[in-house]
Chain A
């Protein structure tokens, strides 16, 4: 026997895996092409804890056995890792640099330069961060610009570490390398692909 999985606490995934994951994928695509826009995933899943709904839907849509995942989720971490192993079959890594995806609570977010920013030959191999925020509105505001944004767009996600935006700015300086970020709360997401720049508020 190769190790067993504790299934007692595992909650269901998508009721209709094909249609549901296609719909969520389409929404993620929309979010990535219109950075900073608040997108409702309408995922229809009952996640173990409500604040992880969007993160769970993204995991079901994007992860599989070829995507090592770094998980930092506080008390829910172990149960969620189990859930991931069961539904996505993905390896869980303790090393941020080795992760294709990272699923982290905003409070526990390591410095962005801890993650893999890609290789000049293969920038697509960079880590994609899925950050679980307290809320996607009502926090400190920042202004975004870049492809997919007509002029600038203002977002105010709450609960991110204080110097998060400075780190994003630093990360963007190495474009085309860099990490792609998806902020989530409840069943909603905001995407910050690496092409999106942070501009000073004025």
Chain B
């Protein structure tokens, strides 16, 4: 498993820790996120700065990452922003229309920034989600590996010796 003990004392460390929490929550299925949060003993009170809402973002791409820009399509995104009593403001953006998922993402973002919550979040939420994702990845890998076809080419050698 990857290391998660970034040095959050520095701005850069905190940024990485927040990034990791954002990624784990956004990549995990909404019901998995909900269930790990439900297992937490207590959670901070939240003040909703922006109640969760759903909108569309235009996803743009470039062919090969360097071609002319084109509009790939629109993606529904849910977002939320909230504050916890310790002070930090958390923002959450997740793909899809699950507003609860976005709010939990915002809550996790706020908790990462608060010293009193960071370890509890890691233990109760981020570690299980990371394990779940790793398992899912391994599972997909296994399924894909089962269908693996080895192509080989006979190399005709002629006139040797």
Residues of chain A having any CB pair with chain B under 8 Å: 7-8, 10-13, 15-17, 86-87
Contact = CB atoms under 8 A, between A and B. Distances in A.
B53 A12 contact: no
Interface of B: 47-51, 53, 81, 87, 89, 91
A16 B52 CA distance: 10
Contacts of A15: 48, 51
Contacts of A13: 49-50
B87 A87 contact: no
A3 to B, nearest CB: 15
Nearest to B49: A12
Nearest to B87: A8
A12 B47 contact: yes
A80 to B, nearest CB: 15
A158 B50 CA distance: 34
Contacts of B49: 7, 10-13, 86
Nearest to A83: B49
B48 A10 contact: no
A12 B48 contact: yes
Contacts of B53: 17
B89 A17 contact: no
Nearest first, the 8 A-B pairs at minimum CB distance are A7-B89, A12-B49, A10-B49, A12-B48, A12-B47, A8-B89, A17-B51, A13-B50
Nearest to A11: B49
Contacts of B81: 7, 86
13 contacts: A7-B81, A8-B89, A10-B49, A12-B47, A12-B48, A12-B49, A13-B49, A13-B50, A15-B48, A17-B51, A17-B53, A86-B81, A87-B50
A17 B89 CA distance: 19
Contacts of B89: 7-8, 10
A87 B51 CA distance: 11
A140 B48 CA distance: 41
A27 B78 CA distance: 30
A15 B91 CA distance: 17
Contacts of B87: 8
Given A7-B89, A12-B48, A17-B53, 18 more contacts: A7-B49, A7-B81, A7-B91, A8-B87, A10-B49, A10-B89, A11-B49, A12-B47, A12-B49, A12-B50, A13-B50, A15-B48, A16-B51, A17-B51, A86-B49, A86-B50, A86-B81, A87-B50
